[in-house]
Every structure is written in C-alpha cells, then in structure tokens.
Amino acid sequence: MGIALILQTGRYYEVNMHQIGCPLCQKAESDFSRINEGINRAATLTEKASHARELIQKVDTLLKEHEKVERSLAEACRAVLNLRKKAAEMVLKLEKVKR
Ligand SMILES: [Zn+2]
C-alpha cells in the first residue's frame, strides 16, 4: 500500500490520457515515465525524494501550461496531475519522517 499503489494508479490514468488526447500531457508522458521509473528504482529515500522533487516541478509547469487548454479537457488533466503531485509529496513526507 502507499506509494507503489498511487504510482500504479498514476499509470492507469496515464493510459487513459491517450484516450483523453491532450497534446500537452501526451508530450509530457515520456518525462513522467522516466521520473516515475527513477522513483521506483531509487535505492534510498533521499534519491527517491530528489526524483519526487523533479516530478513536482514538472507537474507545476504543466499545470501552468494548461491555463490555455480548453476547460473541460484541462479539468481531467488537472485531476491526473494533482494525483501525480500527491504521490510525489508522499515520497517527500516519507523522507522527512526518516530523518
Ligand atoms: Zn493535459
């Protein structure tokens, strides 16, 4: 339970993203896959946290870019992006607890 589950949920949404068909999100997808893989593969929480920070930055940038996207589409995207952010924030919280 926890991070793995949420990241897997993120992956589930990622698949759905193709169907939603937002060009911004599609473009970002390979970055998200790469960062998520980094989080999953990292041996230490410190390493996971550094990937998590990158993910949060990426999400924030994308959320900003979505201000110009059609509203109904952007809402779906925002829901997914916020989920990604939550997962990343959870990694950061775990890192803090460990210290
Ligand atoms: Zn989008």
This prediction has a pTM of 0.78
Distance from residue 91's CA to the centre of ligand 1 (Å): 24
CA distance 72 to 47: 36
Taking residues 62-83, report their average pLDDT: 87
Q: Residues of the chain with pLDDT > 70: what percent?
A: 78
Report yes or no: 88 and 59 within 8 Å, Cβ to Cβ: yes
pLDDT at site 88 = 94
Question: Is the separation of the CB atoms in 35 and 51 below 8 Å?
Answer: yes
Structure tokens at 50: 């550094």
Kindly give the distance from the C-alpha atom of residue 6 to the centroid of ligand 1, in angstroms, as a whole number: 19
Specify the DSSP element, H or E, that contains 83: helix 71-98
When pLDDT is averaged across residues 28-56 and rounded to a whole number, the result is 94
Distance 99 CA to ligand 1 centre (A): 36
Distance 12 CA to ligand 1 centre (A): 15
**Is the model's pLDDT at 20 over the cut of 70?**
no
Residue 21, number of CB atoms within 10 A of its CB: 9
Rounded to the nearest angstrom, the distance between the alpha carbon of 92 and the centre of ligand 1 is 25
